[in-house]
Amino acid sequence: MIGMKIAMIGQKGMPAGYGGVEAHVHGLAVHLKQAGHDVTVYSRSWYTGFSETKTVEGVVCQYIPTIKTKHLDTITHTLLSTLHAVFQRFDVIHYHGVGPSLVSWIPRLLSPKTNVVTTFHSIDRYHEKWGFLSRLFLRLGEWTACFFAHETITVSQSLGRYCEKEFHKETIYIPNAVSPQSQSRINREPLKKFGLLHEPYLVMISRLIPHKGAHLLIEAFHNLKMNHADDPMIKNLKLAIVGGSVYTDEYIRDLHLQAAPCNDIIFTDFQTGETLDALYRNAIALVHPSLNEGLPITVLKAMALGKPVLVSNIPEHLELLHDPRAIFVQNDVRTMEITLYEFLCLPKEEKESMGNANARLVETSYSWRMILPQIIAVYERQSTRPLAFAAKAI
């Protein structure tokens, strides 16, 4: 196999800090490089902290200017990255997200030998942080994701069904992947600064935006504490909320006010590296109360680490988890509280069994060993899909 020259556009950057798309692109880029391909990841300096092009794990991180505002950041960076990329003779330009796909017609016209691929990661217009006009453009981006690229990848089966229903377009289902993880616990010392060095805790790891459901989890945790105040297991339990603002400062202020009556809720802000790893590995379980997802890499990583994961019953979660002990009704605080308590009351052996089952599932279905060949096959495919400029998009 001859190595390909591949560009990634649409993600915030590499190395990945926070964000599922960024984690996906980082993992994909590194594994493509290891497989013998040349990979360039277009990056934003405000995200990575670097303003000059550099190499990370063999991958070229190309820094391109952007206008860092809520509404202009992604589209300006994507447009300028695309205009740079079309003159670099890439074999593949891979767009990540429906918003970035709005400009994917440019390489179709200016670099006709380049294979253009778009990954549909989630239905972004459902996210509450966006206003009417932004949602309108994101809806248009869904259409362009299906029609401008040579091939469209969806990361969950439910997204594939959505594209078929809304746009009568068949996509290629390739789920997100994570690398195998050692399940041994690591040094808890990084947890000391959060008061978690010797305390049992549940963890939520997410950007703090409304559709991720942190406010629901805080309410459920409050209720758990009040309704089982005499239970020593609950009395000592903490909740760590790991994540920060993505143009959602007002929402985060509300979360802190909501959590204030309970001293057992800890906000850590975004974390990376050894600290984030320690927060994952030493938690009793990850809780993911999201109302809308693509295929959450946070959940996959916790599963790969052999951790139990407790999730809302949205379709994307149910593609990953089938154990009724791990599932609560979305947007329903009462069922979340019940699920948390019943899980916490399980014997240690049953909790470990749930985590081990999660790790086995990731290894067999969501590891890069399984997923990478599928993505490479898409890159190598010689598509004849025409570039469409007229269809019912909205």
Q: Are residues 126 and 17 part of one domain?
A: yes
How many angstroms separate the CA atoms of 340 and 39, rounded? 43
Q: CA 305 to CA 323: how far, in whole Å?
A: 17
Q: Which residue range is the domain that position 290 belongs to?
A: 189-365
- The token pair at 377 is 């096959």
3-state secondary structure of 51: coil
pLDDT for 133 equals: 75
SS3 for 136? helix
Q: pLDDT tens across 142-179, in order?
A: 999 999 999 999 999 999 999 999 999 999 999 999 98
Q: What confidence score (pLDDT) does residue 126 get?
A: 64
The model's confidence at residue 349, banded by pLDDT at 50, 70 and 90, is very high
User: How many CB atoms neighbour CB 258 within 10 A?
Assistant: 15
Confidence of residue 391 (pLDDT cuts 50, 70, 90): very low
The tokens 């007229």 sit on which residue?
390
Residues 204, 346 within the same domain: yes
Mean pLDDT for all residues in the chain: 92
Q: Which two tokens stand for residue 365?
A: 């279905």
DSSP state letter for 4: P
Exposed/middle/buried for residue 127 (C-beta within 10 Å: 0-12, 13-18, 19+): buried
pLDDT at 385 (0 to 100): 66
Residue 247 sits in the same domain as residue 374: no
Residue 34 has pLDDT above 90, yes or no: yes
Within a domain: 184: no
Q: Tell whether 222 is covered by a domain.
A: yes
> Do 268 and 184 form a contact (C-beta atoms < 8 A)?
no
Check whether residue 276 and residue 343 sit in a common domain. Answer: yes
Question: Do both 118 and 197 map to the same domain?
Answer: no
Is there a domain that residue 194 lies in? yes
Q: Which residue has the higher pLDDT, 382 or 212?
A: 212
Averaged pLDDT for residues 68-73: 86
Q: Give the single-character DSSP code of 19.
A: -
* pLDDT score recorded for residue 239: 98
CA atoms within 13 A on the CB side of 8: 33
Beta bridge partners of 151: 117
Greater confidence (72 vs 357) lies with 357
> What is the model's pLDDT at position 390?
42
Tell whether 385 is covered by a domain: no
* Gap between the Cα atoms of 275 and 252, Å rounded: 21
Query: To which H or E segment does residue 383 belong?
Result: none
Q: Are residues 166 and 200 in the same domain?
A: no
Specify the CATH number for the domain of residue 59: 3.40.50.2000
Express each pLDDT in 290-335 by its tens digit. 998 989 999 999 999 999 999 999 999 999 999 999 999 999 999 9
Residues 219 and 133 in one domain: no
| Per-residue pLDDT at 130 | 63
Residues 19 and 109 in one domain: yes
Length of the chain: 394
- % residues pLDDT > 90 (the chain): 79
Structural domain includes residue 313: yes
Place of tokens 């399940």: 183
Residue 392: which pLDDT band, with cuts at 50, 70 and 90? very low
Examine the domain organization and report whether 136 and 228 are in the same domain. no
What pTM value is reported for the model? 0.91
Task: Based on the fold, state whether residues 51 and 136 are members of the same structural domain.
Answer: yes
Asked whether residue 390 is assigned to any structural domain, the reply reads no
Q: How far apart are CA 130 and CA 18, in angstroms?
A: 19
196: which residues sit within 8 A by CB, 6+ positions away? 188, 238, 240, 266, 279, 282
State the Cα–Cα distance between residues 148 and 169, nearest whole angstrom.
Answer: 12
Q: Locate the DSSP E strands across the chain.
A: 5-9, 38-43, 54-56, 59-63, 92-96, 115-120, 151-154, 172-173, 201-205, 238-242, 265-267, 285-288, 309-312, 327-328
> Could you tell me if residue 139 is inside a domain?
yes
Nearest Cα neighbor of 145 from 122, 120, 123, 167 is 120
Domain membership flag for residue 298: yes
CB 76 within 8 A of CB 102: no
Do 197 and 327 lie in one domain? The reply is yes
Question: Which tokens sit at 152?
Answer: 């469209």
Whether 222 and 153 map to the same domain: the answer is no
Q: Is the dihedral of CA 323, 325, 326, 327 positive or negative?
A: positive
Tally the domains of the chain: 2
CB atoms within 10 A of CB 264: 19
Q: What share of the chain is helix, strand, coil (3-state, %, to 5)?
A: 45, 15, 40
In this model, does residue 105 exceed pLDDT 60? yes
